[in-house]
Amino acid sequence: MKKVYGSIILDTAFRYLIPFILLYGVYVLLHGEYSPGGGFQAGAILGIAFVLDGLVQGKKAILRITGETAVIIAGIGTFLYCFVGILSMLSGGNFLEYSLLPIPMNDVEKHVWGILGIETGVCICVMFTIIAIFYALVGKEE
Amino acid sequence: MIMEEVLSKFLIYWLIIILFLVGPFGMIFSKNLMKKLMAMNVMQVAVIIFFLALGQKAGATIPIETSGIADIGKYINPLPHALMLTAIVVSLATTGVTLSLLTLIQRNFGTLEEDEIMRRMEK
Amino acid sequence: MSRILASVAIVLMCLLLFSTTNGLPVLFDANSPASTHVTPRYIEKSHEETGSPNFVTAVLADYRGYDTLGETTVIFTAGLATAALLMASKKKSNRMKGGKDK
């Protein structure tokens, strides 16, 4: 985008809004097991923070990443999901069998950490896919 | 009285069917590819609302375990929510792919009107 | 002609869907088929088995982990396809412009 759509009102509102959006996204991810939320929703919220930045600030965006980098990081998120599954295979279990994860904890805690791990993977994948789609669609005018 | 009962039981399904039929209608009758994509998204939303309507229970709360409520009938069905949660995000991703294809068509032919594209392809 | 056929097909589809409403479970019914088969097991056992009070997270990430892996792969593939389509074509944009003129 050549033009920056921001005015002084938009810029100021954006500056106060963005920390809360990012914080809320992380809260939705980490608290997803006890309240409504989880990886998909957190990924959408965090991705929207980046998209807002791109819309308001244009080329000067602080959180700007290129589409290629975003796709690579989304791939890392998908790999993180598979990695948790493979970790449980290393200690003799099935794929994604959390109770056999090689961490020194009791059964239920292993499940909690396994779920958190794959939710983080999903969150990263969704977030950077949204960013990649956005920058692929708007980036052509540069 | 009978009318009231029928409306309270089936009205939501009728509304969902009408919303669903907007999809095929728009996809067949509009000649603009962008409008076709929007009609397809409306159809997806109708399917998602249908699944969510199947999971509801009278007087039940959200599917998160609260101390003091042990009755199964007091929690709404978590399964449609889990399935539709992923369906929403997948619809977002497929919409992204479609939008990029439409961008390429627009860049190649200079229009998104179906007839105009066919005419320019023959030239 | 094709439009008449299409409208006939849509009217038929409308009639078919409206006639099946009678067989659907009544709204807010706690004993509907969707809520009786596997869901009680999830609601009763998932907290002690997975340690997550949120049943949706338990179903999504634990009982149906394979499904979610598939969904994540679909999303990643869609992002990859978008980026590949638009970023590969950016380099060839001169040829595209040449094609537009003729």
Can you give the pLDDT of all 142 residues of chain A as single tens digits? 455 566 888 888 888 999 999 999 999 999 988 888 888 999 999 999 999 888 888 777 777 788 888 999 999 999 999 999 998 888 888 888 888 888 888 888 888 888 999 999 999 999 999 999 998 888 755 4
Domain count for chain A: 1
- Please give the CATH topology (third level) of the domain spanning B2-58+74-122: Helix Hairpins (1.10.287)
CA B116 to chain centre: 29
Domain that holds residue A61: 8-137
Q: Are residues C40 and C52 in the same domain?
A: yes
Using CA of residue A54, residue A59, residue A63, residue A64, what is the dihedral sign?
positive
Domain count for chain C: 2
- Cα–Cα distances in Å, from C100 out to B13, B64, B100, B105, C38? 48, 56, 18, 11, 57
Helix axes B2-29, C2-20, angle to 10 degrees: 150
Neighbouring chains to C with at least 3 Cβ pairs closer than 8 Å: A, B
> With an 8 Å Cβ cutoff, is A49 touching chain C?
no
Residues 78-97 of B with CB under 8 A from C: 78-82, 85-86, 89-90, 93-94, 96-97
- Of C50, C76, C87, nearest to A74 by CB-CB distance is C76
Q: Are residues C53 and C71 in the same domain?
A: no
Choose from A31, A33, A34 for mutation: most chain C CBs within 10 A: A33
Q: What ipTM was predicted for this assembly?
A: 0.86
A 10 A CB-CB count for A122 gives 30
> With an 8 Å Cβ cutoff, is A128 touching chain C?
yes
